[in-house]
Amino acid sequence: MHNLVERILKGDIRAVARAISYVEDNHPEKTEILQELYPHTGKAYLVGITGAPGAGKSSLVNKLIGYIRKLGLSVGIVAVDPTSPFTGGAILGDRIRMQDHFLDPDVFIRSMGTRGSLGGLSRNTKEAVRILDAFGKDVIIIETVGVGQSELDIMNIADSTAVVLNPGGGDTIQAFKAGIMEIADLFVVNKADLAGTDKLVREVEQMLDLVKHDAPWRPPLVKTITFKNEGLDELWQAFLDHKEFSLDAGDYEKRRSSHLKEEVVEIVNYQVHQIILQQLKDEQYQQLMEQVSNRSVDPYVVAGKLIEQLTGK
């Protein structure tokens, strides 16, 4: 057994941090570590928190951590931020907003950059979540960057997803057109002390009437005011209600199975992508790419040759 795996399973928090760094840096031993940890995963409840920037997601997560800890549950947080184009690191630093929990040994917080992932979740986010799962966290919260379509990728990891809105967030209908309705298992109207809250609630309910009127699960709507700690109990109960519904309906395991299939495809895509990038460095393909540049060969010819070389057909 890999030394880091043994230490993680024994509850060594430094080993967890090192393993996640291995994941982020694509360390040569990463795959071995993840393979050995996999049999010890699948027990944590994975909660997704997404929504547009400025909705107050990080402040809400900070308060939710405190609420869950009072229930005696351990918590892991993966906060996915935009990546700095210069350093490759996460630039929002959501951990700053969650500093109340830094000294709590049963809370582990990690910010990760999107690193160019179009879905808004880095390819390594799932691997970090898996490490925290094997570490024994009861609840793992994944907070996404929340920029436009990037919110949709949370579908492929969380057991339950909350979409956070606020009264000053703009055109609700436009938000729903971006696909929000498809990923939300519940809605949170944060900053519910602001003007416009009742109007936003009505708009969301009207959209639900149109889109979810015959759905087996109608996403509940919870109002929260984080600085007053209001609505946290209703929010956590809404998560638990969705989990119970999913388990009873058989959707919980189906969703997880779907996520794993998607992950297999992602791993294959990444590895094939790396192979292709390496092949393009060969002199043969560099010459072909020059011909593509001067329009004497089209890109489909080069792509066809790469596929032929990969598949042997």
Instruction: Note whether 76 and 36 are same-domain residues.
Output: no
Query: Over pLDDT 90: what percentage of the chain?
Result: 55
Query: Which of 218, 249, 280 lies at the terminal end of a domain, its last residue?
Result: 249
> Does the pLDDT at position 94 exceed 60?
no
Instruction: Note whether 274 and 206 are same-domain residues.
Output: no
- Answer positive or negative: Cα dihedral of 240, 244, 245, 251: positive
Instruction: Note whether 224 and 93 are same-domain residues.
Output: yes
Instruction: Note whether 21 and 161 are same-domain residues.
Output: no
> Does the pLDDT at position 311 exceed 90?
no
Instruction: Note whether 156 and 242 are same-domain residues.
Output: yes
Instruction: Note whether 199 and 168 are same-domain residues.
Output: yes
Query: Over pLDDT 70: what percentage of the chain?
Result: 85
Q: Give the three-class secondary structure for 227.
A: helix
Instruction: Note whether 109 and 244 are same-domain residues.
Output: yes
As a whole number, mean pLDDT of residues 258-265 equals 90
Please give the model's pTM, rounded to 2 decimal places. 0.88
Instruction: Note whether 113 and 212 are same-domain residues.
Output: yes
Instruction: Note whether 7 and 109 are same-domain residues.
Output: no
In a domain? residue 123: yes
> Does the pLDDT at position 211 exceed 50?
yes
pLDDT for position 120:
44
Overall number of domains in the chain:
3
As a whole number, mean pLDDT of residues 189-210 equals 90
Nearest 10 degrees: Cα torsion 239, 65, 54, 207: 10
Domain that holds residue 277: 263-311
pLDDT for position 214:
80
The CATH number of the domain holding residue 119 is 3.40.50.300
Query: What is the per-residue pLDDT across 79-93, written as a single tens digit (0 to 9) for each?
Result: 887 655 444 554 444
**Which of the residue ranges 30-34, 108-112, 164-168 has the most confident prediction, judged by mean pLDDT?**
30-34
Query: Which of 203, 218, 249 lies at the terminal end of a domain, its last residue?
Result: 249
CA distances (Å), origin 257, targets 141, 157, 245, 254, 262: 19, 10, 17, 5, 9
Q: Give the three-class secondary structure for 240.
A: helix
